Copies of this chain bind each other. A is one copy, B any other.
Amino acid sequence: MSMNNRILVIEDDKAIGNLIKMTLSTQGYEYDIAIDGKSALQKVLSMPPDVIILDLGLPDMDGIEVINKIRGWSQTPIIIVSARGEEHDKIHALDAGADDYVTKPFSVDELLARIRVALRRVKKDSLLDMELPIFTNGNLKIDYLANTVFIRGEEVHLTPIEYKLLVVLAKHVGKVLTHNFLLKEVWQQVLPSDVPSLRVFMATLRKKIEENPANPKYIQTHVRVGYRMLRYEEE
């Protein structure tokens, strides 16, 4: 949920590049730098950033061309940084698909504010084309957005680990998940000593979501292997 935002800086001037780099890292953003148009396009493709900061004066390519190419397949916000204050450039860049424009010499704080505006927008857009974030299986519902779980219409409160465990099972309904896999997913590591602990969590989870925990309907045990969630029709 709390992955850092990635920002791609396309800038050939080392001094300015460093300034931006330092600024971004103090704010906790992840960043990547490209020093020409060609490598920039590759990076946009291979590791899509959340925001792009683009210097118009690149050595190998016209800035407008870079925007056009990126806009060919990506809607990532682009903030232009340019030494030339000429109207002409600004307007062309904006019409080509850039979202914003900052003129050198620019204030670091202003650039940060404009990045925040762009990120605000990214977040909104990404919610739109997401699938419905509600999982349903029989009488069980998981609302991934709200982080809530319902059983027979009633909300049940799960602790963080219980919730994570249930989500992992739900994401793989019908599949048998090994102890190792579950431990890795939930605790991000595997210590053999953790298997007993996994059992404890299964017990509390079942107590909360199963009508009869001794005869579990949703979470099935596979001896010596792991657990799986069974898939049921809607009702």
Chain A interface residues toward B at CB < 8 A: 1-2, 27-28, 75, 87, 90-91, 94-95, 98-100, 107, 109-110, 112-114, 116-117, 121, 124-125, 127-128, 145-148, 159-160, 174-176, 178, 180-181, 188-190, 222-225, 228
Q: Are B90 and A110 in contact (CB under 8 A)?
A: yes
Q: Are B113 and A225 in contact (CB under 8 A)?
A: no
Determine chain A's interface SS by DSSP, over half rule: mixed
In angstroms, Cα B109 to Cα A176, docked, is 31
Q: Are B114 and A87 in contact (CB under 8 A)?
A: no
Q: Are A146 and B175 in contact (CB under 8 A)?
A: yes
Q: Are A190 and B28 in contact (CB under 8 A)?
A: yes
Q: Are A224 and B189 in contact (CB under 8 A)?
A: no
In angstroms, Cα B86 to Cα A113, docked, is 14
Contacts of A110 in B (CB 8 A): 87, 90-91
| A113 and B128 in contact, given A147-B225, A189-B27, A222-B147 (Cβ under 8 angstroms) | no
A128 contact from B125, B159, B223, Cβ within 8 A: B125
Q: Are A116 and B188 in contact (CB under 8 A)?
A: yes
In angstroms, Cα B75 to Cα A225, docked, is 32
Q: Are A2 and B180 in contact (CB under 8 A)?
A: yes
In angstroms, Cα B16 to Cα A169, docked, is 39
